[in-house]
Amino acid sequence: MVTPEELAQLYYYCDGKLFRTTTRSRWKADTRVGYYDKKGYRRVRIPGTTVSESRAVWCLCKGEWPDGEIDHINRIRDDNRIENLRVADRFIQTQNTTRKGYYKCGNKFRACISVNKKRIYLGLFRTEEEAAQAYNEAKKKYHNI
């Protein structure tokens, strides 16, 4: 893997984006690096491999490659500003979703939460707001959020 110093010789960070430091073959200096993959994340080619732009930004700003996964706090996949990135494990990643925790069941709403790979039934509610409140309370209790 490329060291942070070698990466800094190839690219520089500015406002959530990576740019080339030098002109090489057909690529001019100060042009944006990378491409979008099919999931909407930006990828960057570095010697020997391809990494996500968010990992490269983390490496340039922090001086080391991240230990875990990189999470986009605001859930925008190509927003690679350093203040929007954090190292997270899979549990934290799954908490940063748009899941509601309840769904319509007939003319009522059923709320459930998953804890340690087990689903806990929270109840059947008349309104969507009651189901959402039950889910949010359970999330605070079980996930410490």
pLDDT at 142 (0 to 100) = 85
CA distances from 109 to 29, 42, 120, 133, 139 (A): 56, 38, 15, 12, 17
Q: 144 in the Ramachandran plot: left (φ > 0), alpha (ψ -120 to 50) or beta?
A: left
Predicted confidence at residue 96, as pLDDT, reads 65
Q: How many domains in the chain? A: 2
CATH number at residue 120: 3.30.730.10
Clarify whether residues 62 and 23 are in a common domain: yes
Model-level pTM? 0.72
Query: Residue 95 has what pLDDT?
Result: 66
Residue type, 132: A
21/77 same-domain check: yes
Task: Residue 57: give its domain's CATH number.
Answer: 3.90.75.20
Rounded to an integer, the average pLDDT of 23-52 is 92
Give the range of the structural domain holding residue 134, as residue numbers without chain letter: 99-143
Give me the pLDDT at residue 26, please: 84
Check residue 98 and give its pLDDT.
Answer: 61
For residue 106, the SS3 value is: coil
The chain-wide mean pLDDT, for the chain, equals: 90
Stronger pLDDT, 12 or 95, i.e. the higher one: 12
- Cα separation, 14 vs 51, whole angstroms: 18
pLDDT digits (tens, 9 = 90+) for 51-110: 999 999 999 999 999 998 999 988 899 999 999 999 988 777 766 666 678 899 999 999
- Tell me what pLDDT residue 64 has: 95
